[in-house]
Amino acid sequence: MNSSGSAAGLGLLSAASWGGSDFVGGLGARRAPALLVVAAGHAVSLLALLAFCLAARLPFPGHHDLLFAALGGFEGALALALFYRALAMGAMGLTAALTGLLTALIPVLFSLFSDGLPTRLVAAGLVLGLAAIWLIALAPNPEGKRVATPPVALIYGSVAGVGFGVQLILFKFAADGNAMWVMTSARAAGVAAMLLVLIVVPPKAPWRGFWLLGILAGSFDTIGNLLYIETTRIGRLDVAATVCSLYPAGTILLAAVVLREWPAPRQWAGMALALAAVVLLSL
């Protein structure tokens, strides 16, 4: 398999893992504050990563790799907190779609300047992929109700999307180092950011029932991050970011299978576009 095909394949695995993380985290958020679920996953995965790195005596990466990873983990965690705040303020579908689109678009634009223009097939795949992300993430409002989205929610969602996109770029910068140590550095900074958010804006009760699902969600998220880092090593940043950003499809399919929450027609269309995009990006 060529490098583009390998990158697309690893990107799909990363997207599937991130989609599973969001699904499990969403279940946990029905029982406890979402930030507690995320904080639990970050904290336990940090301990697991650190224990593995020390037990395996993995070579320590360069300082710049750890720095980029830590910056990505810290600002990515703050972006996540801001994203949850945006979702709570208005129509989730529009906010999530805008955030998801910017998450992929920021690395794509950066890659155009750093890696040069892609081939026509890759360019077509990127366009289809961005359209697919928008359609998949743009979920219908409950019971077809029209819900107004405050402008500040869209601003928060946009800032969160830029933050997620910058995190993907920073992880690319850190990809030369040992992936496990890189992820450990990112998780440590993410835990610090989560603690800061919990101190400044403590969630309301109940402070229980979030550990198990939080740990599972954090495990899937960590695996997705490691796969994304490996994807950026063998392929272009724009391809890696676009394919990995298709993760909402995994969340939607899991919700359909487990919870019988079936996708809307536009989401089915988005997943069909996603398949076409992956085919083009793997050629």
pLDDT digit string (tens) for 231-268? Answer: 999 888 999 999 999 988 888 888 888 888 888 888 89
Q: What is the pLDDT of residue 71?
A: 97
Sign for the pseudo-dihedral over CA of 264, 266, 269, 275? negative
pLDDT in tens, 107-133: 999 999 888 888 888 899 999 999 999
Q: Please tell me what DSSP assigns to residue 106.
A: H
Q: What's the rounded Cα separation, in Å, for the pair 182 and 95?
A: 30
Q: Which two tokens stand for residue 260?
A: 């019988």
pLDDT per position as a tens digit, 20-30: 988 888 888 87
Give the Cα separation of 55 and 91 in Å (integer). Answer: 46
Model confidence pLDDT, tens digit, residues 138-175: 766 555 555 556 788 888 889 999 999 999 999 999 99
Q: Where are the alpha helices (DSSP H) in the chain?
A: 3-29, 34-56, 63-87, 92-114, 120-137, 151-173, 179-200, 211-234, 237-244, 248-259, 265-282
| pLDDT tens digit sequence for 31-74 | 888 888 889 999 999 999 999 999 999 998 889 999 999 999 99
3-state secondary structure of 101: helix
- Amino acid letter at 59? P
Quick one: pLDDT at residue 86? 81
- Model-level pTM? 0.90
User: Is 111 exposed, middle or buried (CB count within 10 Å of its CB: 0-12, 13-18, 19+)?
Assistant: buried
What pLDDT, on the 0 to 100 scale, is given for residue 90?
62
Q: Are 193 and 43 in contact (CB under 8 A)?
A: no
Position 143 scores a pLDDT of: 52
